[in-house]
Structure 1
């Protein structure tokens, strides 16, 4: 378990801050025990390359809020558990955060399988769950409004990928996917989108993620005479697949999600294997003040889309509680849209948001990941996507659209 707290200076600022004890609607939000939020990122496992930065982004927002006086005079505390990119570990972590730490919201789940397993615990306990998982099935669960997804759902992601591939001349696409809730829904969308654009899915294989060799799968790909392969997996298995496809002489287009091929891929494979690999991902709002500040605080560490999104998870939860004058899970749920969409004053950080709310002004928070506006089921309404190509040990941006 990883527990984080702010330093003595932030605690003093929180207890003596200018925002302490202000009223909303004539009722003061009394000072008291810290408001506790739970973080459940993948600090290890397939999502391990992303989890630490996701957690760091959450903590930095919490530090900013505490320096500004906290939530109505109450300091904010973050308790983190490692979901290990594993549903069982995720459930254990969520139970501890909900039952022992009594969190008001839970944020930062990454793998769709983990989010699917954890979600019932959240809605049953009236705890909002902020997630970066993409499987369509997640927001189709009977979550009663307690799920907010900042990651585009799988339909939007796959439709975007297919549209882009078709525009680049892809017509025969083989879909190789790791076993996950994301896989089958991705296949259904791919078949429809490619067919509508004059292309076709030439093969579809779902494999177990812990495989160490893919000889039969690669043989089938080679027989399919595909011009493109969609690698719908995770970093460890996609690394193995890239090596085996190179050895087999596959000379078509290789396309994957950016979380499945990053700088670690270049450390594991020679450039001749990775050259030409195309990745895509939701793009943070790189021109926003929120993103630029987060980038400055991260220093030499990349602000990936998941870190930008968890930054926004923390800000949404804090500002929703402040707007409600209530740190309970249901109050947070009911105020997320109130502070993130509408005609309020545009703010891109918790400090300005808390000050505006203290003055009785409505706000419209826009974060590092972009405008955080949610559809009725909790899906993000839209975002930009970033396409990059691997060239000699680094990624070059092809397009942001």
Structure 2
């Protein structure tokens, strides 16, 4: 009897000691490993470091406050080389060797589509930046979530921005990738429904030595506006060609192609960049989470970034879901994604404050760094607002927004 009482007493003291030393407990527990598949090289190489810095900053901020479930978050980074083949190889290593519970990042839609079936087979969560509609289609077993707008919504948003900017006619110059191709039909249909006319749709391939033929075909018809659906290398080359040729149709593209922390202006010069329009999710610069993201990644307070905030939100939502579900099992914690983002409760943008609310049993909803999003049942985001920016004297200025 005495032995039994002594055992209970020792166990109780151990429990109290553990409760009094949460940081020590974090150090003793194995980390929660989260994979980051980032385009550190290849055509998306301009954005890989941005994603890596965001993931590590979010994890460090949460770890410094005690971690999740008494454990630290460890970010395991893999270069997917912006290639589906390399992406699958990276995913297999992250899953089989590093034992990650989720794969984040996935900037390229093509890489995300290639990685998705591998992760689903292994029961690992996928949090992707790619916009191709197919990423969230099919039976994803609740494991696939998009932290970005989908292709259809991108296309519709661009149509509203272009038409709202006064264009009566428009053409599309589109790079052949899953991400960009998914936007052509929604753009054309929405623009027509708003009373506009589509003059032409011209496709081009990555890494062409010249885009002169495509530029001449599209711009010689003198549309009011041209939506150039491409990434920064191709858009820079096209913008230079348009400027040299003296065409005056207004240019519209993504913020990651026409801003990217000033890289586009560096590529083409202020004169060629003048008046170029670009679109991305907002509220950038206004939300609590975005300001925190900029501070933690040591960015200027007026920086305009597209993919780092997506990854920041991915790590934060994972951490909150794991804490709320009290589980590091993907099949369990993914059930908390919708409650965390969609709850009819006060918004919180600071992940540490959100973790405190979970532990105190207080209702809240997480308001993200990229946009104040909510989730659809299929893993897509909804309720997004798109900012319309215009370059003037080499600087991007917000001139309007649309939903």
Tell me the TM-score normalised to structure 2 length: 0.88
With over 3 angstroms needed to count, the CA separation of the structure-2 counterparts of 1:244 and 1:126, relative to structure 1, is same
Structure whose alpha-carbon radius of gyration is higher: 2
1:260-302: CA deviations, max 9, x gaps?
A: 1221111121222111111111124532222222222233453
Per the TM alignment, residue 394 of structure 1 is displaced from its structure 2 partner at its CA by 2.1
Counterpart of 1:173 (choices 153, 170, 173) is 170
Q: Does 1:274 align with 2:277?
A: no
Kindly report which structure 2 residues correspond to 1:111-130, keeping only aligned pairs within 5 A, or say none: 111-130=108-127
Counterpart of 1:190 (choices 165, 187, 191) is 187
Q: What's the secondary structure of 1:245's corresponding residue?
A: helix
With over 3 angstroms needed to count, the CA separation of the structure-2 counterparts of 1:289 and 1:215, relative to structure 1, is closer
Which one has a larger percent helix, Structure 1 or Structure 2? Answer: 2
CA contact 1:14–1:75 (8 Å) conserved in 2: no
| 1:366 alignment partner in structure 2 | 367
CA contact 1:154–1:182 (8 Å) conserved in 2: yes
Counterpart of 1:55 (choices 52, 55, 74) is 52
Kindly report which structure 2 residues correspond to 1:96-107, keeping only aligned pairs within 5 A, or say none: 96-107=93-104
Kindly report which structure 2 residues correspond to 1:82-231, keeping only aligned pairs within 5 A, or say none: 82-231=79-228
Mean CA deviation greater in 264-273 or 96-105 = 264-273
Per the TM alignment, residue 15 of structure 1 is displaced from its structure 2 partner at its CA by 11
Q: Does 1:39 align with 2:40?
A: no
Q: Counterparts of 2:270 and 2:360 in 1: how far apart (Å)? A: 56
| 1:333 alignment partner in structure 2 | 334
Per the TM alignment, residue 343 of structure 1 is displaced from its structure 2 partner at its CA by 4.0
CA contact 1:14–1:73 (8 Å) conserved in 2: no
CA contact 1:284–1:304 (8 Å) conserved in 2: no
Tell me the TM-score normalised to structure 1 length: 0.88
Unmatched runs of 5 consecutive residues or more in structure 1: 1-12, 22-30
**What's the RMSD between the two structures over aligned residues?**
2.3
CA contact 1:345–1:361 (8 Å) conserved in 2: no
CA contact 1:19–1:70 (8 Å) conserved in 2: no
1:11-43: CA deviations, max 9, x gaps?
A: xx999426959xxxxxxxxx7321100011222
Per the TM alignment, residue 254 of structure 1 is displaced from its structure 2 partner at its CA by 0.9
| 1:392 alignment partner in structure 2 | 393
Per the TM alignment, residue 303 of structure 1 is displaced from its structure 2 partner at its CA by 5.2
Q: What's the secondary structure of 2:174's corresponding residue?
A: strand
Q: Does 1:70 align with 2:75?
A: no
CA contact 1:235–1:261 (8 Å) conserved in 2: yes
Unmatched runs of 5 consecutive residues or more in structure 2: 1-17
Q: Counterparts of 2:24 and 2:196 in 1: how far apart (Å)? A: 58
Per the TM alignment, residue 48 of structure 1 is displaced from its structure 2 partner at its CA by 2.1
Q: What's the secondary structure of 2:248's corresponding residue?
A: coil
Q: What's the secondary structure of 1:58's corresponding residue?
A: helix
Kindly report which structure 2 residues correspond to 1:302-313, keeping only aligned pairs within 5 A, or say none: 302=303, 304-313=305-314
Per the TM alignment, residue 237 of structure 1 is displaced from its structure 2 partner at its CA by 0.8
1:194-219: CA deviations, max 9, x gaps?
A: 21112122111221111120122122
1:140-170: CA deviations, max 9, x gaps?
A: 1331221111211111121111112112221
Counterpart of 1:251 (choices 244, 248, 251) is 248
With over 3 angstroms needed to count, the CA separation of the structure-2 counterparts of 1:116 and 1:15, relative to structure 1, is farther
Q: Counterparts of 2:374 and 2:144 in 1: how far apart (Å)? A: 13
Per the TM alignment, residue 102 of structure 1 is displaced from its structure 2 partner at its CA by 0.8
With over 3 angstroms needed to count, the CA separation of the structure-2 counterparts of 1:274 and 1:347, relative to structure 1, is closer
